[in-house]
Amino acid sequence: MAEVKKLIEGYKKFYTDNFITSKNNVFDDIQNSQNPKTLIISCSDSRVDPAILTNAEMGDIFVVRNVANIVPPYQPEWNSKHGTSAALEFAVNYLGVKHIVVLGHSDCGGIRALINNDIDMDNKFSFITDWVKSHAEIKNKIPENTKDKYLFCEQEGIKLSINNLMTFPWIIEKVKKNELKLHGWYFSIKDASLSILDDDMCAFNKIDV
């Protein structure tokens, strides 16, 4: 119970700081609608919370989190169940976000399981195995002389998710009209650095702080 109690105490502080003592009550602006300009697709990893990492305020970002920040390709079949695709559709076609950020990170368990072909993943879990296998093609791109195959694949996974975003017809349309821009970010848990994928999707460049 100590873990949950800590969260409840955190809520109490949040409530006091933002609803009781704050001069600018954020809820005055967001209680009836939301108008985020950016969608962030992030890993579910507890160490990589996009709102915390970007110091965002309530209403700033629309967030989708899943194992390994994977965007599946466009699959419009009625019998397919894609929570990520549904969130994309809502953010792009209803909320009208202007930016989509795919946020990957170091020490990603989903990517590690994919690369290592963990047998335990097949034996213990019903859903994770097939989910990460949707990015299986990045394993074939690992250079023979790479120093860090996990880093390579974590960043290649971001690129693949961006490419998969471009299989959604309504995303393609908005990108071509310059109404929507796609971004790739990589967060290192080791040194808290953030690297941005360049426009040519070739290299991640660390932000100077």
Q: What is the pTM of this model?
A: 0.91
Domains of the chain (ranges plus CATH)? Answer: 1-33 (no CATH), 35-206 (3.40.1050.10)
pLDDT of residue 118: 56
Residue 168's φ and ψ, nearest 5 degrees, are -85, 120
DSSP the chain: -HHHHHHHHHHHHHHIIIIIS-SS-THHHHSS----SEEEEEE--TT--HHHHTTPPTTSEEEEEEGGG--PPP---TT---HHHHHHHHIIIII--SEEEEEEESS-HHHHHHHHT-HHHHHH-SSHHHHHHTTGGGGGG--TT-S-HHHHHHHHHHHHHHHHHTTSHHHHHHHHTTS-EEEEEEE-TTT--EEEE-TTSS-EEEPP-
Q: What is the pLDDT of residues 187-205, one digit of tens each?
A: 999 999 999 999 999 999 9
Strands 194-197 and 204-206: antiparallel
pLDDT of residue 119: 45
**161 contacts 41 by C-beta, under 8 angstroms:** yes
Over residues 152-162, the mean pLDDT reads: 97
Over residues 148-172, the mean pLDDT reads: 97
Neighbours of 1 (CB within 10 A): 6
Higher per-residue confidence, 61 vs 115: 61
Q: Residue 134 pLDDT > 50, yes or no?
A: yes
Q: Residue 58 pLDDT > 50, yes or no?
A: yes
Q: Residue 120 pLDDT > 90, yes or no?
A: no
pLDDT of residue 25: 72
For the chain, give the mean pLDDT. Answer: 91
Q: What is the pLDDT of residues 34-49, one digit of tens each?
A: 999 999 999 999 999 9
Q: How confident is the model at residue 74 (pLDDT cuts 50, 70, 90)?
A: very high
Higher per-residue confidence, 14 vs 18: 14
Q: Residue 206 pLDDT > 80, yes or no?
A: yes
Burial, 153: exposed, middle or buried (Cβ in 10 Å; 0-12, 13-18, 19+)? Answer: buried
pLDDT of residue 154: 97
